[in-house]
Structure 1
């Protein structure tokens, strides 16, 4: 059978800088999914891809598994993010790709693979160049969610399904055995008694680090309609990560943590749609925040937690009520983060009365209009500091 002609993208490969930008975008997406893809691992990934074949899907996949995954727990997330970011092995319209050879094992030598210059016995490479596969995803990361078409929204949903959201860690009162740390007197004495009083090695223990609880308050009012679905899918990924509570706010306060616990994102969205009675209604932020604090927050849900409000700050009632409740929330929570999709627009200023009243009690004020903005929000929840409040860098 004749070999099909190579795609046009093969004859003019992207520049190394452009290819590296795409690969680093994949590393950022992987980090947002919860994999500890550090800067050192990212650099090792770039070097491994350069040693193998940068334009071949199987080699990029193998290089990432070898350098970006720290253990077996990272492999599942890696596969999900890789499929969402680089696409599947099928064609763009769902057509099956041509039959190819099995993915080759990584080899620590350079192979010169040129389009149109393969030997007669050599199989076709496994897919188009990396930059061609993922350039659309890298562009999508910066696009405003409200401006996406149906195909781009489907791709966004696949990327959001791979997200992970965990609060920054804190030292708990519990201790566990450790090689270093304070002496554990009980275990040390038991070891001495077991040896009949003979000298024994000191037993030690250390405090356990636990992630803080994360509470998400998602605005589903009419002004947030273009962003509500993406934000709730972001919340769905957060709930799957554990220790996360989600409420919707509009004209009513609705707890949707149980509905978002479905593994399938579409089933979770359907359950939320059935449970929330106030889609695309008005906004009563102050009143609903007071209801949340009186019913849930004061009892301990918000105490010491990272509380994230995802809203544009439009308030139908008196903004002074919102300001007072934000001060209560700030006194209870470890940190208060506000993600506003409008903040990502050029020339934005927090002139809405509700937003202006709430900002004095906000620790971090970030955008929430795109996939890249949600990745930054996830980093802020994990403990990163942006130093931005009211759109002004500190």
Structure 2
């Protein structure tokens, strides 16, 4: 079977086009599932493409079941796959009837193509599969402040697929491992059980555990267009690891919202967090709030050797010198300091405001925070910090 821009056709039919349109969409779908936490390996992707080589790529049920049966390796992957399929292809998840096999209906809403379209008509529409991918790509790179209500709803579904993971660290404790240094005590005890004969050497290696992730979110008025996606990202991080994740909001007051964001439903979690934040869309005193965080929480251990992410545009109503001093304190405590600024993703941006200028020397990673794509990139920075 060979793929072309209009689906899968037999090689005997003389279709010698390179496999581009359909395969690119399927690879993009697999990459999105990998970001969502589904262990999609290259051989599984090849199996999905090979399966669709024997099916109708324009049929919604065929695409759904070919991907589900090849890309999912355990039951925990199924909800992520269903959400990813609905978000990526823009359709409902197929639900086959129990009394009869699923009907093969064409999905013009998702793929929107006609594989029998006449050639050379002069008004032939562009290939809609790359068009669908382009629309998805544009939405992921679009600034949150420019989104329409329908686009915001679509991105909410994409945020449910995010699973930010913190970088790991080695502990002082050792655990059994196939590789590593020789565990003399276990090796000798095993030899004594075998009459003194040393049959094999036991080995050990230091255990690893995730670093604590601390998110400080600016909820002032200037950050209002980015507050919802900012907290949805924080909710995704808490959902991924409740034990090692802490969330605080910064404005005119410091508020810990970790407990509220532990609710599994994103909308309920955000409503609970909104009710707990008393200074929503108010002013901002980053220096004062950062000092309060370090005095009450950070110095006591939350920020020690942790990955700290600050979401803020850097507008400081107070003294920028104080912010610089507190950022220096934070930098000494934390393992890595990441600052996500929504304006950094705009062309021609330069960090000229007083707050950013004072904080920049103590920032390890200065990243954008204006679109879903920038948040996906931020998740990679956190995992590789």
- Cα–Cα, structure 1 residues 78 and 103, in superposed 2: closer, same or farther, change >3 Å? farther
The answer to whether the 8 A contact 1:32-1:379 is kept is no
DSSP-derived class of the 2:349 partner? coil
The answer to whether the 8 A contact 1:212-1:305 is kept is yes
The answer to whether the 8 A contact 1:32-1:378 is kept is no
The answer to whether the 8 A contact 2:344-2:367 is kept is yes
What TM-score results when the alignment is normalised by the length of structure 1? 0.78
The answer for unaligned runs of 5 or more in structure 1 is 1-8, 105-112, 118-128, 385-394
Alignment of 1:37-186 (within 5 A): 37=40, 40=42, 44=46, 47-48=49-50, 51-52=53-54, 53-65=56-68, 68-69=71-72, 71-89=74-92, 101-102=101-102, 115=115, 136-186=135-185
Shift of 1:135: 5.1
- Cα–Cα, structure 1 residues 57 and 130, in superposed 2: closer, same or farther, change >3 Å? farther
**Hey, what does 2:311 align to over in structure 1?**
310
**Hey, what does 1:232 align to over in structure 2?**
231
Alignment of 1:313-352 (within 5 A): 313-352=314-353
| RMSD between aligned residues | 3.2
- Cα–Cα, structure 1 residues 102 and 275, in superposed 2: closer, same or farther, change >3 Å? same
Q: What's the CA shift string for 1:282-311, capped at 9, x where partnerless? A: 011111111111111111111111111111
- Runs of 4+ aligned structure 1 residues displaced above 6 Å come to none
Q: How many pairs are equivalent?
A: 348
Shift of 1:211: 1.8
Shift of 1:224: 0.4
CA distance in 2, matches of 1:103, 1:297: 58
CA distance in 1, matches of 2:248, 2:305: 18
CA distance in 2, matches of 1:314, 1:69: 45
- Cα–Cα, structure 1 residues 141 and 298, in superposed 2: closer, same or farther, change >3 Å? same
Q: What's the CA shift string for 1:329-357, capped at 9, x where partnerless? A: 11111111111111111211111110111
The answer to which of 215-224 and 338-347 deviates more is: 338-347
- Cα–Cα, structure 1 residues 250 and 193, in superposed 2: closer, same or farther, change >3 Å? same
**Hey, what does 1:211 align to over in structure 2?**
210
1:248 is aligned to 2:249: yes
- Cα–Cα, structure 1 residues 48 and 59, in superposed 2: closer, same or farther, change >3 Å? farther
The answer to whether the 8 A contact 1:48-1:63 is kept is no
Shift of 1:132: 6.7
1:220 is aligned to 2:226: no
Shift of 1:146: 1.0
DSSP-derived class of the 2:179 partner? coil
- Cα–Cα, structure 1 residues 114 and 274, in superposed 2: closer, same or farther, change >3 Å? closer
The answer to which of 154-163 and 50-59 deviates more is: 50-59
- Cα–Cα, structure 1 residues 36 and 90, in superposed 2: closer, same or farther, change >3 Å? closer
CA distance in 1, matches of 2:308, 2:270: 22
Shift of 1:59: 3.8
DSSP-derived class of the 1:199 partner? coil
The answer to which of 45-54 and 351-360 deviates more is: 45-54
CA distance in 2, matches of 1:344, 1:382: 21
Shift of 1:72: 5.0
DSSP-derived class of the 1:217 partner? strand
